[in-house]
Every structure is written in structure tokens, then in C-alpha cells.
Amino acid sequence: MHAPDNIAPDNASRRAFLRRSGALSLAASAAPWALALSSIGDAAAQSATDYKALVCVFLQGGNDSWNTVVPYDATHHALYQGLRSNIAFTREALAASALDPLGGSPDGRQFALAPTLATGLLPLFHQGRLAVVHNVGTLVQPTTKAQYQARSVPLPPKLFSHNDQQSYWQASSAEGATSGWGGRMGDLFASGNGTSTFTCINVAGNAVFLAGDVAIPYQVTTSGAVPVNGIKSPLFGSAAASQALRQLMTAPSSHWLAQAHAQVAQRSIQAGEQVTSALAATPLPAPFPTGNRLADQLGLVSRMIAARQQLGVRRQVFFVAIGGFDTHDRQLATHPGLLANVGDALAAFHRATEVLGVAQQVTSFTATDFGRTLVSNNDGSDHGWGSAQLVLGGAVQGGRLYGAAPVPANNGPDDVGQGRLLPAVAVEQYAATMARWFGVPAGDLPLVLPRLGNFGSADLGFMTA
């Protein structure tokens, strides 16, 4: 037996901590370890009485943030345009989506949203609900350009590789990681949820983000849970066959793959009915755009939030995702449409949370494999690293851009060549800011984000207290 290569050392001590706690627990399977902690008065056991939800909106493929949050002041726009003249927006095209931040731009740097984000998100920015965080990316520790070039500090493994960077964003570890920071937050709150099953909800395909040590992602389609018809109704006319079907699908096994499969089937069958009945009472709280897969997913999230009391949850982490952002070619033909979908879906989702009266309790944030090169290829861009992200919700201190605005250059001070930005903010810091708002005590943040201590600030300031 060997331990997975890429488990952070802190996870070993975290696992030991969990196991020690589990050893103190009484009713083993029904009481997750967090209850045991509360029985010994440990602050890490969360029993939130309010409701909060975090929604990770993953843009798969590596979103080009140069054309999402676009340099707009004349000097920097010229630099930007000069390096990708075939795929850049002109200043004229950006005029209608220029950002006017609260407190102005003391450093003289101005930005505009991509034109197709304007309808959905520009008003939200100016209402103070949407924040921009500059140049977020995967890091092991703060890294200067000289250190990167000399490889003199540890770097995230497999930079510029889609699957590994997606994993690193979600789990601080390359492909093969077994838990993500969303799931690790779920671990801390699962016991406070009446039904811990619904702590981490995945409306996209399997992703490590929501996997915890205790919390398991529960996957649901955009039209709800999928019942097993042959269990719900007689199978080929036979009730006995229905029962056998249920028994067989969920039968425990000494074979590890069979057991793993049966576990998923068991959860599907057990929780499915509860989800279906909850969703039956919660139609879409507000209109959502059609023909927009992100909107479909966020619509379902809004219905799950509406059903939170029936589902017995107080803290939830959601994961939604869309693909298509790997714009190596035809960027101008495809990227604007993708962003339009993102902006429209997020705006509809925020509206839905307002209707439900939970706008200040739900925070959505973007994430992506990496940014892209500022320098273009013929009609697109290639894999980059740091990128701007968006955070949306009633508790967001919006209308501002956080972090140092990167200089558009090719091999300038902020990039490692071709305008691939060296991240100034680590994913851990971005995540910690939201985790703190979610209710994770400062002392427990390292359980969720093991490398957080490598970085300066654990609170970038874009959330209200």
C-alpha cells in the first residue's frame, strides 16, 4: 500500500485529527466526527443556525480573462491591443461596459467588462454586488518571476495542463486528488445539516471540488434526481424483481470497485426520493434564460436553495460548470457567446436569490483551469496561468477590483512570457476569504486550505463580515 503521491503533508495530520475525533464518537455511522467534536466543545464543530451557500461556477478549459476584464485606460488598452491585435476589443467596443469602481481608480488603471457581460453583470457591479479579483491562480507559495524562471521555489505540478490545473484549483493538488476545498468546508458543517447528504451538491459532472473526507458530493441533474424506474414500479410486472433490483444495486461487497459502485447506488436510491419531493414544491423562483446550460444548472441550484428547509440544510456548497473556454482558435466567434451565457445565468441566479430572500446568504464565484496568453495565435490564445475572477452576492463588497492590476506585456514584470500572468493572489487566499464568510473559524482554515499559511493575507476583503 502506498499513499497517493500528491497528498499535502498537512492532510496526514488532518486525517489523524479526524480519526482521533472519530475514536471519541459514540454512534459511529450516524454521527459524523464533527458531532464528536461538539461533544468535547471544539470550536470546529459548526452548528450554524442561519443559512449560507457557496456556489462554485467553474469555467472549464481556461477562461481568457484578458478579454473578460479588459484593460481600458488608454495606456494599458494600447498595450493589450498591441499584443493581440487580431482578437482584442477596441476601446470603442468597451465603452458601454467600462467599470466605474467605488472609490475610483487611484492607480489610474481602468477596466471594462467584456461587452457581452454588460447586460447581466455591469448593473450588479455598479450596485455593489459584483467584485473583480485580479490575477488569481495556483501557487504553492508566493512566487516572483525570478524564482519561477530559476525554478527555485516549489511550483504547482503540471502547470498549463487542463486536468491538473482544474484539480489544483479545486483541491490544491494535481489529478488524483481525493478531496477539494469545497468538500473540506462541507466536512466542517455536515453535522449541522439535518441531512448531511445534501451538504455538497454537484449539478455538473464529477469534480473533486466537493469531495471531502466525510462529505460526499451528491450529484443531481438539471431536471432533478433520477429515480430508478425499476425500483419505483414493478419491474417487468414483478414486485419481487423490483426488490431484488434494489437489493442487488446496493449490496455491499468485499470487492473494492463493486463496493464503491454500490455506495453510489445506495445514495442515489435513498436520497433521490427526498430530492424529488422537495423539488416538486420549488419551481424556479425567478425566470432563467433558456438554451443556456449554466442557467439550467443555476436554476436547479436556486430550486435546491428554495427547498433548503425540506432538505434540512443550513450550509451548502454547490458546483456548476460549463466548458468551451479553451479558445485556442475562433476566440472572437465563440468566447463572447460563452461569456453572455455566464453573465445572463449569474444575473438570473442573483435575482432568484433576491426573490427567495437569501441574496446576502448566497455567494457565487468563478473559477477556471487558468487564464490565457495575452499574445494571441492566429485567432485565439493559448494556456496561461493567473486570471481575473468574479464574485457575486449580497454579502460581497462589490463595485471594486481587488488585488494589483497586472501589466499587459509580453515578458513584462507580471508575466512569465507571452503574457501568461504569474498569479499575484493564490487560489487559497481567494478561497479563504469566502470560507471565512461561510463561517469557517480562522483556526480551522488550514483544515480546508492546507497551504494557506504560506501566503500573506487570508482575507482579501471582498466579503462583508
Partner 1 sequence: MTPLPSANSPQALDCRDAAPTPPDGPAVPGVALGLVGTLALAACGGGDGPETNDPPSALPATRSSEQTARFLAQATLGATRPEIQALSQRSLDAWLAEQFARPPSSSHVDWLLSQGYGAEEFRFSQRGLDNTIWRAFIGGEDALRQRVVFALSEICVVSVLGVDSAWRQFALAYYLDVLQAHAFGNYRQLLEAITLTPAMGYYLTFRGNAKANPKTGSQPDENYARELMQLFTIGLVQLRPDGTPVLRDGQPTETYRAEDVSGLARVFTGWDLETAGMAKPYPPEQMCRPMVQVAGRYETGPKQFLGTTIPDGTDARTALRLALDALFAHPNVPPFVGRQLIQRLVTSNPSPAYVGRVAAVFANNGQGVRGDLRAVVRAILLDPEAHDPAHLQDPAWGKLREPVQRFVHWARAFRATSAGGLWDIGDLSDPGSRLGQSPLRSPSVFNFFRPGYVPPQTALAEQGLVGPEFQLTNESTVAGYVNFMQRAVATRNVGDLRPDYGSLIPLAANAPALVAEVALVLAAGQMTAATQAVIATAVQSMPAKTDSDLQNRIHATLLLVLASPEYIVQK
User: Which residue in 105, 119, 397, 410 binds partner 1 (CB under 8 A)?
Assistant: 410
Residue 97 CB, nearest approach to partner 1 (Å):
24
DSSP state of 457: -
- C-alpha distances (whole Å) from 435 to each of 138, 218, 363, 438, 454 are 17, 20, 11, 5, 17
Nearer to partner 1, 125 or 385 (CB): 385
Size (the chain), residues: 465
User: Which residue in 11, 21, 46, 60 binds partner 1 (CB under 8 A)?
Assistant: 60
Q: Which stretch binds partner 1 (CB under 8 A): 51-59, 103-111, 260-268, 303-311?
A: 260-268
The pattern of x and - marking residues 214 through 243 that bind partner 1 according to CB under 8 A reads: --xxxxxx-x-xxxxxx----xxxx-xx-x
- What is the DSSP track for 286-303? S---SS-HHHHHHHHHHH
The pattern of x and - marking residues 159 through 188 that bind partner 1 according to CB under 8 A reads: xxxxxx----------xxxxx---x-----
List binders of partner 1 among 89-148 (CB under 8 A). Answer: none
Alpha-carbon span 120 to 382, nearest angstrom: 27
What are the b/e assignments for 241-264, b being 16+ CB within 10 Å? ebeebbeebbeeeeeeeeeeebee
Q: Which stretch binds partner 1 (CB under 8 A): 66-74, 80-88, 104-112, 440-448?
A: 80-88
- What is the DSSP track for 417-458? STT-BPPSEEHHHHHHHHHHHHT--GGGHHHH-TTGGGSS-S
Alpha-carbon span 209 to 427, nearest angstrom: 13
Residue 455 CB, nearest approach to partner 1 (Å):
21
Strand 111-113 to 69-71 pairing: antiparallel
Burial class of residue 151, CB neighbours in 10 A (0-12, 13-18, 19+): exposed
Residue 277 binds partner 1, judged by CB under 8 A: no
User: Which residue in 253, 309, 411, 457 binds partner 1 (CB under 8 A)?
Assistant: 253
List binders of partner 1 among 3-32 (CB under 8 A). Answer: 3-5
Nearer to partner 1, 212 or 403 (CB): 212
Nearer to partner 1, 99 or 201 (CB): 201
Reading the block at residue 190, the C-alpha cell is 455536515
Q: What is the CA radius of gyration of the chain?
A: 23
User: Which residue in 22, 128, 142, 157 binds partner 1 (CB under 8 A)?
Assistant: 157
Amino acid at 53: A
List binders of partner 1 among 187-216 (CB under 8 A). Answer: 202, 205-206, 208, 211-213, 216
User: Which residue in 128, 142, 417, 446 binds partner 1 (CB under 8 A)?
Assistant: 417
